[in-house]
Amino acid sequence: MKPRPQDVLVIGGGVLGMSIAYHLSRLGASVTVFERDYPGAGASGANAAIVASSTTSPLSYALLEEWGKHLLVELGEAAGDDALFEACGRLRLVTEKEVGSSVIDVVRRNREAGIAVQYLQAESVEALEPQISSAGLLGAAYSPSDGIADPFRLLRVLVERINRRRGTLRHHTRVCTIRRTNRFVQVTTPRATYLGKVLVIASGVGSGQLSQQLGVTLPIRPMRGQILVTEQLPRLFHHVISPGITQCRSGNILLGVSMEDAGFANENTLSVLQTIARGSILKAPILKTACIIRCFSGLRPMPRDGLPILDRLPGYGNVYISVSHNGLTASQAIGQGMAQWIAEGEKPHLLAPFALAAAHRRS
Amino acid sequence: MRDSTGRIIICRCEEVSREEVLDAIRSGCETLDEIKRATRAGMGRCQGEGCAHMVAAILSEVLGVPEERIPPFAARFPIGPVNLGELAATEGELAPGQQDQSSQEAP
């Protein structure tokens, strides 16, 4: 017997897929999420946990992330979990290597649009973060409302809330094929076939292959990011330091800013880890004696122009795509916006700039 | 080992209890790596040296799978804690298997 058609099928249990499913379930839709491994097994669980909108460009993307940040605060408060998102503030360092950098222009533009950010001179940066080396430092963009999210806590809250409503998470369930029938979209897993009125592809680096099954090419490629983790240390940094230093609430420090096109190879490489180590010591010499206990890497889907793709697949009225290189900050804004679009039929204003055709044009 | 509130502590580095490990398994975790991400067991300074065996024993008991059939935590660099300064000064390459096998293919 075939299961009853669901309102929406979502492929991908990362922060985007789960956020879309959560917001759909809030609107009363029946939702099934298919996750190949477990929530956060992909890029959503392998990043530096940074939530930041203050130095994002273009402004349309910064505003989407700003709204996402606001919704993350609300979700953390509603869940009574103050570690889900912690607005500890962030400093985006600007060094002599970036003379004439556009960061200052971006700060001005974002600030005018109402995002809490200002440009600080080097002396003020040193006062806020004494461990940051002043060598070559020109200043920093400072935002008090950026911060750190714990993607696994976020995902846990989303799973609980989806389960409480008309949602089902099918973890350890790989989607083999998707195809369109007369009225529905049909998803086949190794064990069963599912029908949905609407399909959402939110499978990170796997989204390209799935869209290809429907004859649509996405302008994305996998981008590998590697991160080093220190032992738990006393509080050395009070803010997220971009690029590349995040001290989590646990005391562990995440170090890393790497981005490489290495296909689908998701390993760590010594040369990149060494580059991260050297760069981190230059930025904060005290880290020289910090113990590294682990490293990890993640494959993030990189749209060719760096902006999220949030759209309906051309030629399909009922198949949606949602991929982003950094999905954590905007996750709730994307989830809310996509859910509203699917439920009410009109693409929300905030999502309008992130069209597939635009991504193709820009790349 | 029990803590002051009587909980049985499985991962001492991250203070993760047996009950938390069981919760993670009930919510769908099927491997040590999944339990690690859900609970932080094995994420501390000893990187699972102390708790991998106990987490595997619990998983084996709940899933009814022999313990020797449960794969260990994924091995990652470094095998033991290493100073960032030492890493920055290191020469050489990662052992095979930890290496980037795609470097030739990358553009």
Residue A146 CA, distance from chain mean position: 14
A244 contacts in chain B (CB < 8 Å): none
d(CA A50, CA B74): 24
Q: Dump strand ranges (E) for A163-251.
A: 167-170, 177-180, 185-188, 193-201, 220-230, 240-242, 245-247
User: Under a CB-based contact definition with an 8 Å cutoff, are residues A225 and A259 in contact?
Assistant: yes
Cα separation, B40 vs B25, in Å, equals 13
Is the alpha carbon torsion for A354, A322, A161, A9 positive or negative?
A: positive
Specify the amino acid at residue B73: F
Residue B97: what pLDDT? 47
Q: Do A265 and B38 touch (CB under 8 A)?
A: no
CB contact set of A1 (below 8 Å; sequence gap of 6+): none
**Cβ of residue B53 closer than 8 Å to a chain A Cβ:** no
Q: Quick one: pLDDT at residue A249?
A: 92
Among A218, A191, A193, CA closest to A204: A218
**Yes or no, beta carbons of A267 and B101 under 8 Å apart:** yes
What is the reported pLDDT for B98? 46
Q: Answer yes or no: do A290 and B84 touch at CB < 8 A.
A: yes
- CA-to-CA distance for A231 and B78, rounded, in angstroms? 12
The sign of the dihedral angle between the CA atoms of A46, A48, A51, A57 is negative
| A296: closest chain B residue by CA | B76
Q: What is the pLDDT of residue B104?
A: 30
In Å, how far are A170, A188, A202, A339 from A34, measured between CA atoms?
5, 10, 10, 17
Termini Cα distance of chain A: 45
pTM: 0.92
Determine whether the interchain pair A171/B92 forms a contact, defined as Cβ–Cβ distance below 8 Å: no
Note the ipTM here. 0.83
Q: Is B78 on the interface with A (CB under 8 A)?
A: yes
- What distance in Å separates the CA atoms of residue A254 and residue A240, rounded to the nearest whole number? 10
Which mean pLDDT values do the consecutive 10-residue runs of chain A (363 residues) have? Answer: 81 97 97 95 92 96 98 97 95 86 92 97 96 95 97 94 93 94 93 96 96 94 95 97 95 91 90 94 96 94 92 94 95 98 96 91 71
**B75 and chain A in contact, CB less than 8 A:** no
CA gap A197, A8 in Å, rounded: 6
Closest CA relative to residue B83, chosen from A166, A292, A177 = A292
Rg (CA), chain A: 21
pLDDT at B93: 59
Average pLDDT rounded to a whole number, residues B3-18? 90
d(CA A66, CA A110): 10
Task: Find the closest chain A residue to B90 by CA distance.
Answer: A274
pLDDT at A221: 93
B104 touches chain A (CB under 8 A): no
Would you state the pLDDT for residue B102?
A: 34
CB contact under 8 A, A291 and B93: no
A12: three-class secondary structure by DSSP? coil
Mutate to test the interface with B, among A152, A288, A297 (most CBs of B within 10 A): A288
Chain B: residue whose CA lies nearest to A223: B106
Within 10 A of B19 (CB to CB), how many other CB atoms are there? 11
Beta bridge partners of B2: B8
What's the pLDDT at A200? 98
Q: How far is B84 from chain A (nearest CA, A)?
A: 5
Pairwise CA distance, residues A299 & A204, whole Å? 8
* CA dist list (Å): A325 to A63, A115, A192, A290: 16, 21, 31, 29
- What is the nearest CA distance from B69 to chain A, expressed in angstroms? 18
What is the DSSP annotation of A81-137?
A: -TTTEE---EEEEEEGGGTT-THHHHHHHHHHTT---EEEEHHHHHHH-TTS--TTE
Q: In angstroms, what CA-CA distances link A285 with A6, A107, A132, A289, B104?
A: 55, 28, 8, 9, 34
Side-by-side strand order, sheet with A147-149: A50-51, A147-149, A85-86
Q: Which residue has the tokens 């905007």?
A: A330
Structure tokens belonging to residue A168: 């089902």
Chains A–B, number of C-beta pairs less than 8 Å apart? 112
Q: Do residues A218 and A207 make contact, with C-beta atoms less than 8 angstroms apart?
A: yes
Length of chain A: 363
Asked whether the beta carbons of residue A263 and residue B77 sit closer than 8 angstroms, the reply is no
CB A178 within 8 A of CB A214: yes
Q: Do A292 and B99 touch (CB under 8 A)?
A: no
DSSP A260: B
Contact B28 A171 (CB under 8 A): yes
